[in-house]
Amino acid sequence: MQKMSRRKALQYLLAGTAVAATAPFLESCRRAVTEPPTFPTTSANNIEATATAADLPYLAVARNAEPDALVRAAVDAIGGMSRFVPYGGWVIVKPNICTSYYPYEYAATTNPWVVGTLVKMCFEAGAGKVQVMDYPFGGSPEEAYQTSGIAEQVEANGGEMVVMSSFKFKDTKIENALGLHNIPIYEDVFQADALINVPIAKHHGMSWLTLGMKNLMGLIENRERIHRDFGKLLTDLAGKIKPQLTVIDAVRILTNNGPTGGNLADVTKLDTVIASPDIVASDSYAATLFGLQPSDLDYVRVGAENGLGRSDLENLNIKEIDLVA
């Protein structure tokens, strides 16, 4: 039987005493739970220590089911959403909603049921606020949110779709950078209690694949700066933003003509979801879905070489979950 965490026990206690409790008391309890944060950073050493201590898989892959079941199986296998979301916390979920051109069937945007299930799981873990956002380069955000189907699923599960304001991109210094010493990053990313990165796995004409590390480009302005060296600059960006959890949507993958697609012949249905606190490991495994090795992607190779995460899949504790009936 899984042991109830201190945070979860306190959550139940707060719910049971809500009538008698005063607002200041509730707030102090929340601070006691969320300070300091208990979710892991993306440092490879910290992630490994956390997973080993809890005897959890480093990465989980779920296959052969509907998107909601895939997400739950993969996230639960690595410790459940409460591992990443503090009680009462503010969570930002970052899918790929790059354009308003096509619905999700074309595999250019993250599967809406994958995103909706993550929102629901965040609230189940005790999140106080869950916001979903991206910075599309094709069409308006409102159009992209609706066309992708993501807005409908997020709102159905109690989340909030946020149109990212240009005023919130703040020039941010990146320490010990390989090449990206500063860039405007959306400030809410650093104020929220947890960031969940939810890319779709797809082809890209310049970087070969768009996965977890490249999905973070939707949180910056001047994306063209990254194009000159995906390896070093995406490593800098991911090391600064540090999502607590990466969930890769491979329900449908785009195998050609990315990132925007537009031809259903380029789409392969895999019914797969990958989850890990390590963004490099997540991208490494996703590369194999396209017949590639982690070292084939510059940003994965450089990220691993610089301690952002691990790409040595053969040495990782990976749980494969087949949900076929």
pLDDT tens figures, 51-99: 444 589 999 999 999 999 999 999 999 999 999 999 999 999 999 999 9
Mention the CATH class of domain 41-322.
alpha beta
* Among 18-22, 49-53, 64-68, 314-318, the least confident range: 18-22
3-state secondary structure of 158: coil
The answer to whether 196 touches 233, Cβ cutoff 8 Å, is no
Separation CA 171–CA 187 (nearest Å): 9
Q: Is the pLDDT of residue 38 over 70?
A: no
Query: What is the predicted pLDDT for the residue at 258?
Result: 83
**CB-based contacts of 285, cutoff 8 Å, min separation 6:** 59, 61, 248, 274, 276, 313, 318
> For the chain, which residues make up each domain, given as ranges?
1-36, 41-322
Distinct helix (H) and strand (E) counts, the chain:
12, 12
The answer to whether 57 touches 78, Cβ cutoff 8 Å, is yes
pTM of the model: 0.84
- The pLDDT > 90 percentage for the chain reads 77
Amino acid 168 reads K
3-state secondary structure of 71: helix
DSSP state of 165: P
Which of the four pLDDT bands, split at 50, 70 and 90, describes residue 245?
very high
* Among 85-89, 178-182, 228-232, the least confident range: 228-232
Q: What is the mean pLDDT of residues 148-156?
A: 98
Q: For tokens 């409908």, what's the residue?
A: 152
Separation CA 106–CA 266 (nearest Å): 8
Query: What is the predicted pLDDT for the residue at 208?
Result: 80
Query: What is the predicted pLDDT for the residue at 207?
Result: 76
Beta bridge mates, 179: none
Report the chain's mean pLDDT, rounded to a whole number: 86
- The pLDDT > 70 percentage for the chain reads 83
Q: Is the pLDDT of residue 14 over 80?
A: no
Which of the four pLDDT bands, split at 50, 70 and 90, describes residue 224?
confident
The answer to whether 125 touches 82, Cβ cutoff 8 Å, is yes
